[in-house]
Structure 1
Amino acid sequence: MEQLAASLDGGVWQNYDLGAIPRIGPTEVLPGIWAGNLDGARYSEEDFAVTSLCRLGEPFPHPVHRMAYIADNEHNADLDVMLADVLDDMKALQDEGHRLLVHCHGGASRTGLVLRGYLIREHGMSVEEATAHVAERWPHLGLWNDSFAAALERLARRP
């Protein structure tokens, strides 16, 4: 879809085939919420409601699949709005009884952002508490993105 949109807008047709990567996950990190990397999610059981935070290459076979592209850099426009949308979707899907699977390409930084954001918003944890909670259960947690840390701090300050 992204490729088609770029070509229609006069952009260059790019191939986002990411090749084979080692599968990580899915692993249950929070009650009812699993984490994984791209191939861990791609080849997971199809009854997961998947939230993808990266480019996919080929579509997934999962009937319930949400996509929100977040770049793992400091240049995400409206990161707070995007994070809120992802968390809203996750809450709604969990309320409907779905098993959730959150992933990004490596399963580290973007996945960690969303998992920690969920704990902050839905369970009232501080950023530090949420980070420690996820780190205990998901050894792939990546903490290198300062804009993600800032977004979590803003989320924690919201009433």
Structure 2
Amino acid sequence: MADMDEIYKNKIVTFLRAFYAAKYAKVDNMPCQIEPGLFLGSVGVAYNKDALKNFNITHILVVAKSLGSPYPDDFHYKKIEAKAAGGGVLVHCFAGRSRSVTIVLAYLMKNRNMSLSEALGHVKSKRPQIAPNEGFILQLQNFEKSLGANRTKNLNVGDSSQ
């Protein structure tokens, strides 16, 4: 019986994956540029090879365990360091509204010294449909606190060496 449940579960997951890929391929298939070299989108963007090429996206960070890599010969997957190499990075999950947004927000907070509020405002201005879930917002708030503590510590270290 457990084997049958697993088979049905896998079939449902496969169906949902195909359903969302088809849905987002029609209604949300263009990358939103957050900053030079950093793009955010849904699974629909990840399947829009022409748009990926047009925006010089060379690397794709997939933030969804069940999503595959549709063009493994054309793009590098899961390599966030691509911005330094001159190519663009697409960060996506299914809808490009919560998981992938959280990754991009954390990146902006850490690497651009933005507050959570500033990062949210910036990303929302580029991709209005974002909606990170409450759990991710709590994690980002904690991350912001840890960044503040680290920045304060780094400032104090810098002050004492002068």
* TM-score above 0.5: yes
Shift of 1:152: 0.8
Shift of 1:59: 3.2
Corresponding position of 2:155: none
Query: Higher relative contact order at CA 8 Å, sep ≥6: structure 1 or structure 2?
Result: 1
TM-score, normalised via structure 2 length? 0.68
| Structure 1: stretches of 5+ with no match in the other structure | 1-6, 67-88
Shift of 1:43: 2.0
Corresponding position of 2:23: 21
Structure with the higher helix share, 1 or 2: 2
What is the distance in 1 between the residues matched to 2:113 and 2:125? Answer: 18
Shift of 1:125: 0.7
Shift of 1:12: 2.1
AA aligned opposite 2:32: T
What is the distance in 1 between the residues matched to 2:123 and 2:138? Answer: 17
Secondary structure, counterpart of 1:22 in structure 2: helix
Secondary structure, counterpart of 1:21 in structure 2: helix
Secondary structure, counterpart of 1:134 in structure 2: helix
Shift of 1:153: 1.3
| Structure 2: stretches of 5+ with no match in the other structure | 151-162
Alignment check: 8 A CA contact 2:60 2:89 kept = yes
TM-score, normalised via structure 1 length? 0.70
When the two chains are superposed, the root-mean-square deviation of aligned CA atoms in Å is 2.1
Identity of aligned residues (%): 22
> How many residue pairs get matched?
125
What is the distance in 1 between the residues matched to 2:143 and 2:120? Answer: 14
Alignment check: 8 A CA contact 2:58 2:82 kept = no
Q: Does 1:117 align with 2:106?
A: yes
